[in-house]
Structure 1
Amino acid sequence: MEITLTIDDKQVKFKSNGAVTKRYKMQFQRDFFTDITSFGLAIANEDIKSKNDGISMEIMRKIDFDLFLDIAWVFAKTADNTIPDPLTWLDGFDTFPIMEIFPDLQDLIASTISSKKK
């Protein structure tokens, strides 16, 4: 699955495929599924996409933003291998609207952890 989002007036591709979990482990020395599980538990019972008035402060308090940025980077790196290291990549944006792109990246996370029936 691949999506393109506009961040700081730049078109940024994000992609989920079989290499995501390995790339994540190689870059951050942490297990993708363990991090996703802890991330998911932190916002359990909250459907961010269903919020009509934006993301509540309660949800924001539960989100580990560093973890989210790591996840965003690995999806961007999977889509474009020329993406630099995470800090250099983030330095390339004047603003990085985490709360705006979070719902879109949820779909990529879901596609990474789900399986397809044949």
Structure 2
Amino acid sequence: MEKTIEIDGKQVTFKSSGAVPKRYKMQFQRDFFNDLLSMGVINVDFEKMSEQEKLEIVRKVNFDMFYDIAWTLAKTANPEIKDPLTWLDSFDSFPIVDILPQINDLLYASISTKKK
């Protein structure tokens, strides 16, 4: 699954694949699934929330984990992306409250099953 969103005037593609957990572990020495689930944002329906409710959810997110997960999804989509700090430095702003709802379906896809 892949999605392109605009961040700070730039088109950024994020991709969820089977390699994401391994890439995350190799880069950050942490378990992708534990970190993802501990953020508590999986399967949250941001579209039905007010801005205040979104802010309350985002307030609970571990920002370091979010940046690391976002970088991993972007790196999976584009192997040319630099290290996490260089990549984040390329943005004047990286508004989590705007980005998280847009990539939430990618995060959910990484832990959900396709079985019916």
Counterpart in 1 of 2:28?
Answer: 28
Q: Note if contact 2:55-2:97 (Cα within 8 Å) is conserved in structure 1.
A: no
TM norm structure 2: 0.89
Give unpaired runs (5+ residues) of structure 2: none
Measured against aligned partners, the alpha-carbon deviations of 1:28-86 in whole angstroms (never above 9, x if no partner) come to 0000011112112xx58964332133544432331111111111100000000000110
Distance 1:56 1:16, change over 3 A: closer
Identity, % of aligned pairs?
Answer: 59
Give unpaired runs (5+ residues) of structure 1: none
Counterpart in 1 of 2:110?
Answer: 112
Between 1:87-96 and 1:46-55, the stretch displaced more is 46-55
Counterpart in 2 of 1:15?
Answer: 15
Q: Note if contact 2:16-2:109 (Cα within 8 Å) is conserved in structure 1.
A: yes
1:60 counterpart SS class:
helix
Distance 1:26 1:2, change over 3 A: same
Counterpart Cα distance in 2 of 1:23 and 1:11: 22
Distance 1:44 1:97, change over 3 A: closer
Name the amino acid aligned to 1:23: R
